[in-house]
């Protein structure tokens, strides 16, 4: 306590208004404006109205915080959204909390006491919307159900009901091109660590319109220094994406597109939100196995479609297994695979130029196959939306 008192005495914030004194200690109004230079991370404890509160140093002055009604809060959300510029438009959301679909972005909210928010106890997945069809809906739906089981999240509805909700939400959005994203959470109830207090798991769905074209231009990648998730968590598509985010940021800070993870044995694993594949000089398509990483739906579909290239003689074979860094960097082509990038060629990994440093023919052929599959593939991968 003596140390704390000394800290307060030596680093006392300078108030703009002193309300009164208690036991010779200054007491400040909770909404008091003040200014002080210093580190944002430093905190000063001040006794106020019988309570101990923390003030965080900031260069910006604090102002009175208004108490808003529900309607006023919603209006402020709408005003904030109107001032935001984004290529993505949120067209519809389903929430099991209110048991229906809304098309008002201001209502697309999640309770703070949902354990997915404050504990990261949730899983998610996605599906592309292409010309009024959902691409690989069932494959992604199967994966989120597997992820929920591994995360010990009980389904709020059976698979058939989940599927129906997904399709109806896209129908209500009237979106013809974009993405469908959905989450299963341990549920709402409290701020405890355990989900015992959660009444029921929750299900959220959102439809995002995005007209951004898929880009086939080659990119640079680096080797990630961020530790990879252990297999128990790496094989689950959970909302715990901090390692993925830091890995992506690490790449962007060096002017690269993505960072590539290596597994615990030094074999090539995956990117932050995509799988990776290689084409050897012998025209063999190599892909790391999925026992330690996320089983990518796009990557698995590419493995199926690539058989056509084998039949045409463009590839001599397909292999899934351990891939060394040496094999990867000496490959003729390196390819990123995922629902967000589809098929994206890599022309440089760290300081090593891949192949001749240009986009390769197999990457382009695989991209053409995926795009054709999205446009006219079989019913097993294309589900019509009844608008």
- From the list 229, 237, 292, 329, the catalytic residue is 237
State the pLDDT at residue 86.
80
Cα–Cα dist 172/79, whole Å? 24
Identify which of 88, 115, 111, 91 has the alpha carbon closest to the alpha carbon of residue 101. Answer: 91
Decide: 133 and 382 in contact? Cβ < 8 Å.
yes
- Top-level class of domain 85-210: alpha beta
Domain at 219-376: CATH architecture: Alpha-Beta Barrel (3.20)
Q: How far is CA 210 from CA 6, 45, 171, in A?
A: 56, 47, 16
Decide: 271 and 258 in contact? Cβ < 8 Å.
yes
State the pLDDT at residue 116.
98
Q: Is 87 a catalytic residue?
A: no
Q: Which residues pair with 25 in a beta bridge?
A: 22
State the pLDDT at residue 236.
97
Cα–Cα dist 59/57, whole Å? 7
Q: According to DSSP H, which parts of the chain are helical?
A: 2-10, 70-83, 115-118, 137-150, 159-173, 231-234, 242-253, 297-305, 307-311, 325-329, 361-376
Kindly list the domain boundaries of the chain, sorted by start residue: 85-210, 219-376
State the pLDDT at residue 11.
43
State the pLDDT at residue 41.
38
Question: What phi, psi does 61 have (nearest 5°)?
Answer: -75, 145
Q: Which residues of the chain have pLDDT under 50?
A: 1-55
Predicted structure pTM score: 0.82
Residue 330's contacts (CB-CB under 8 Å, 6 or more residues apart) are 281
pLDDT tens by residue, 98-138: 999 999 999 999 999 999 999 999 999 999 999 999 999 99
The tokens for 42 are 């430093």
State the pLDDT at residue 88.
86
């Amino acid at each position: 306590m003596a140390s704390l008192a000394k800290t307060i005495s030596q680093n006392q914030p300078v108030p703009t208004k002193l309300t009164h004194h208690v036991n010779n200690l200054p007491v400040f109004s909770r909404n008091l404006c003040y200014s002080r230079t210093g580190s944002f991370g430093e905190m000063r404890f001040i006794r106020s109205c019988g309570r101990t509160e923390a003030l965080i140093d900031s260069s910006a002055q604090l102002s009175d915080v208004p108490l808003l009604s529900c309607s006023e809060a919603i209006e402020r959300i709408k005003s904030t959204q109107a001032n935001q510029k984004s290529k993505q438009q949120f067209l519809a959301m389903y929430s099991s909390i209110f048991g229906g679909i809304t098309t008002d972005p201001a209502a697309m909210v999640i309770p703070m006491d949902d354990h997915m928010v404050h504990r990261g106890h949730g899983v998610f997945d996605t599906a592309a919307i292409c010309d009024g069809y959902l691409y690989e809906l069932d494959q992604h739906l199967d994966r989120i159900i597997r992820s929920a089981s591994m995360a010990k999240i009980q389904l709020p509805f059976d698979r058939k009901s989940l599927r129906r909700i997904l399709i109806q939400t896209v129908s209500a959005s009237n979106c013809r091109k974009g993405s469908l994203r959905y989450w299963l959470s341990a549920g709402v109830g409290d701020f405890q660590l355990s989900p015992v207090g959660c009444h029921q798991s929750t299900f959220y769905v959102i439809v995002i319109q995005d007209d951004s074209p898929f880009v086939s231009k080659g990119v640079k990648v680096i080797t990630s220094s961020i530790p990879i998730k252990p297999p128990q968590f790496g094989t689950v598509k959970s909302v715990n994406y901090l390692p993925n985010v830091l890995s992506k940021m690490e790449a962007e800070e060096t002017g690269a597109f993505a960072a590539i993870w290596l597994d615990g044995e030094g074999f090539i694993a995956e990117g932050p939100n995509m799988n990776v594949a290689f084409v050897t000089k012998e025209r063999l398509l190599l892909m790391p196995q999925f026992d330690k990483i996320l089983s990518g739906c796009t990557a698995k579909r590419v493995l199926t479609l690539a058989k056509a290239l084998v039949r045409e003689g463009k590839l001599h074979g397909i292999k899934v297994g351990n891939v060394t860094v040496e094999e990867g960097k000496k490959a003729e082509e390196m390819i990123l695979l995922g629902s967000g990038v589809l098929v994206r060629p890599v022309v440089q990994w760290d300081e090593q130029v891949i192949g001749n440093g240009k986009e390769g023919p197999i990457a382009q052929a695989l991209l053409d196959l995926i795009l054709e599959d999205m446009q006219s593939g079989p019913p097993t991968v294309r589900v019509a939306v009844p608008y």
